[in-house]
Amino acid sequence: MNHKAVPGWITFLLAVSCGLIVANLYYAQTLVGPIGQAIHLSPGATGLIVTLTQIGYVVGLLFIVPLSDIIENRRLAVTSLILVVAALAAAALAPNAPLFLAASMFIGLGSVAAQILVPYASYLAAEEERGRVVGNVMSGLLLGIMFARPVASFMAGLWGWKSIFVVSAVVIALLTLLLSRILPARKPEPTLNYGQLIRSLGTLWMQTPVLRRRAIYQASLFGAFSLFWTTVPLYLSSYYHLSQQGIALFALAGVGGAVAAPIAGRLADRGWTRLLTGLAISLAAVSFILAYLLRDDSNLTLGLLVLTAILLDMSVSGNLVLGQRAIYSLGNETRGRLNGLFMAIFFVGGAVGSSLGGWAYAYGGWSLATLIGLALPVLALVYFLTEKKNLV
């Protein structure tokens, strides 16, 4: 199918699907305060709400996504989504912290369906349009990430924090039914069994320098991104005295950063990957310098904090598309595993960032959190400067 243009409606359906699925990883991010109080978590442990979801996602990326190289992709995605529906229902009904945190981990595990669908889109695309198609699908995914926070905050303000989990369970159930009926089947031709497939992950990691670099760049940026969005709702609530609706409006402003994804995809098709990577990493560092300097509670400072959120979201979304385009250019038969490894490494960065953010804010406030956030893109920039110019 790679010689044909991807139908626009397929790209649109995959973009919407990825957005709705991956949003489940982020609904709790702006709700860590009310959820933590409801399930009796200490302030220093609230980061676990997001961290365990991301850990579940990493496990799925390493052990479920590689199956897309040997199992029919539509069936694999649908099975993963059924798990998401069950976990969302469990989160809404969980009476205590252990059950809620377990449900959170399974929400992450099943949500890897999105990372089965993204490489599925790239299989359909010809080489010359792969950046555009992946960029468009990733735009949907990133809009899901960014809209998840304001939607969750808005609904929590109206009907309580459990409402978002109930509504999402219904939406994902309907989406699962739709995808099972509409998506064309894609049956790979495996040359490995599952055990060989998982063992090959280490070999792919060691023998693919492009994968290592792109994963480490994105892990650093996503760690900073997760740290910011885990701590900023707490900061906005305590320092600016914003309600859940106010936090929702703040998070909504950050959605503007998603415009970077399709632009980055198109420019990468023109060979601008290296330049844009350096720009994205630098932009993340600048955003944390701004965040660190913003100390008073004036409206101007709050406006600049919104700008900081947009810049950070632009850097992360743009660099994500650059990284995925680079690794998707490495080969057809290993694409599921390459994508799984790439996403797993950078979500480890996200899990570390969320956990560090909760701890740093509890014990050192906004200053310590933003300094740690700044250190991550600075380390990525130092590593980027060692990259050879002929690398993808």
CA distances from 61 to 53, 67, 216, 322 (A): 12, 10, 16, 19
Q: What is the pLDDT of residue 126?
A: 64
Is 257 a member of any domain?
yes
Is 378 a member of any domain?
yes
Q: What is the pLDDT of residue 108?
A: 95
How far, in Å, CA of 39 to CA of 323, rounded? 38
Computed over every residue of the chain, the mean pLDDT equals 86
Highest mean predicted confidence (pLDDT) among 144-158, 201-215, 266-280:
201-215
Q: pLDDT digits over 237-253, tens only?
A: 888 888 878 888 888 87
The band of 29, judged by pLDDT with boundaries at 50, 70 and 90, is confident
How far, in Å, CA of 114 to CA of 112, rounded? 5
Task: Taking residues 224-229, report their average pLDDT.
Answer: 92
Q: What is the dihedral sign for C-alpha 229, 232, 237, 243?
A: negative
Q: pLDDT digits over 329-340, tens only?
A: 776 667 778 878
Q: What is the pLDDT of residue 127?
A: 66
Task: Taking residues 254-265, report their average pLDDT.
Answer: 74
Q: What is the pLDDT of residue 104?
A: 94
In the chain, the number of structural domains is 1
Q: pLDDT digits over 286-328, tens only?
A: 999 999 987 777 788 888 899 999 999 889 988 988 888 888 7
CATH number, domain of 91, equals 1.20.1250.20
Is 311 a member of any domain?
yes
Is 273 a member of any domain?
yes
Where in the sequence is the domain holding 195, given as residue range(s)?
8-384
Is 392 a member of any domain?
no
Task: Taking residues 347-356, report their average pLDDT.
Answer: 87
Is 1 a member of any domain?
no
Is 391 a member of any domain?
no
Q: Is the pLDDT of residue 5 over 70?
A: no
Is 193 a member of any domain?
yes
Phi/psi at 42 (5° precision): -70, 155
Looking at per-residue confidence, does 111 or 48 come out higher?
111
Q: What is the pLDDT of residue 262?
A: 73
Q: What is the pLDDT of residue 179?
A: 92
Q: pLDDT digits over 214-225, tens only?
A: 999 999 999 999
How far, in Å, CA of 131 to CA of 125, rounded? 9
Q: What is the pLDDT of residue 112?
A: 93
Q: Tell me the pTM.
A: 0.78
Highest mean predicted confidence (pLDDT) among 129-133, 167-171, 346-350:
167-171
